[in-house]
Chains A and B, each alone.
Chain A
Amino acid sequence: MLTKFQAKLFFLVGTFLFSAVFLLLTYDSLKYVYSSPSSKTLSEEVIRGKELWEKNNCMGCHTILGEGAYYAPELTKVYERRGPEWIRVFLKDPQAMYPGERKMVKYDFSESQISDIIAFLKWNGELDLKGFPPKPELKSSTQLVDSASAAIVPPEKFKQICTACHSVGGAGGNVGPALDSVGKKYDLAYLQNWLRDPQKIKPGTAMPKLPLSDSEIKDLSSYLSQLK
Chain B
Amino acid sequence: MKYKSQKIAYWFFATCMLLLSLQIVYGFVMGFARMGFDVLHDWVPFNAARATHTNLLVVWLLTGFMGAAHYIIPDESDREIYSVKLAYIQLISLIIVGVVSIIGFHLNFWEGRKFLEIPRPLDYLVVVNVLLFLFNIGMTVWKAKRYTTTSLVLYFGLFSAALLYLPGMIQFNSQTVDSYFRWWVVHLWVEGVWELIMGGILSFLLIKLTGVDREVIEKWLYVIVGLTFLSGILGTGHHYYYIGVPEYWKWVGGFFSMLEPLAFLAMAMFAISMYRKSGRNHPNTIALFWTIGSAVMSFVGAGFLGFAHTLPQVNLYTHGTLITAMHGHLAFWGAYAMIVFAILTYAMPLLTGRKLWNNPTGLFAFWASNIGMLGMTGAFAVAGIAQVYLERKLGLDFLTVQKEIQVHFLGLILAAIVFTSGIIAFIINFARFGVPTDEALGAEQASGDISLARRS
Contacts and interface: CB of A to CB of B under 8 A. Distances in A.
A70 B320 contact: yes
A68 interface: yes
A159 B387 CA distance: 27
A173 B401 CA distance: 13
Interface string B29-49: 010011010100100011110
A50 to B, nearest CB: 6
B397 A42 contact: no
B230 A14 contact: yes
Interface residues of A, number: 73
A48 to B, nearest CB: 10
A15 B402 CA distance: 43
A139 B46 CA distance: 30
Nearest to B245: A29
A22 B234 contact: yes
B399 A47 contact: no
25 contacts: A4-B215, A4-B222, A11-B229, A21-B234, A22-B233, A28-B246, A29-B240, A29-B246, A33-B177, A33-B245, A36-B244, A53-B112, A60-B45, A60-B51, A61-B45, A67-B179, A103-B41, A129-B242, A130-B250, A131-B316, A136-B394, A138-B393, A138-B395, A173-B397, A174-B400
Interface in B96-128: 105, 108, 110-114, 117
B38 A102 contact: yes
Interface residues of B, number: 75
B320 A105 contact: no
B233 A57 contact: no
Interface stretch (B79-87, B272-280, B321-329): B321-329
Contacts of A25: 234, 248-249, 252
B355 interface: no
B174 A65 contact: no
Given A123-B175, A136-B395, 13 more contacts: A4-B219, A7-B220, A11-B223, A38-B174, A38-B176, A50-B175, A56-B112, A67-B114, A70-B321, A105-B45, A132-B241, A165-B397, A174-B400
Contacts of B400: 174-175
Most A C-beta atoms less than 10 A away, residue of B179, B229, B322 = B229
Contacts of B178: 50
Given A11-B229, A15-B233, A57 B244 contact: no
A129 B112 contact: no
Contact of B320 (A15, A18, A74): A74
A11 B34 CA distance: 44
B399 A175 contact: yes
B402 A60 contact: no
B226 interface: yes
B282 interface: no
Interface in B166-223: 173-180, 215, 218-220, 222-223
A142 interface: no
Nearest to B321: A70
A10 B226 contact: yes
B394 A7 contact: no
Contacts of B108: 55-57
Contact of B325 (A66, A70, A73): A70
B222 A39 contact: no
B236 interface: yes
The 8 A-B pairs of least Cβ separation, nearest first, read A60-B47, A136-B395, A66-B320, A132-B242, A54-B112, A11-B226, A7-B222, A139-B395
Contact of A3 (B219, B325, B402): B219
A134 interface: yes
A127 interface: yes
B174 A42 contact: yes
B229 A57 contact: no
A145 B47 CA distance: 41
A89 interface: no
A33 B178 CA distance: 11
Contacts of A143: none
A193 interface: no
Contacts of A138: 393-395
A136 B392 CA distance: 5
A165 B396 CA distance: 11
Contacts of A137: 393
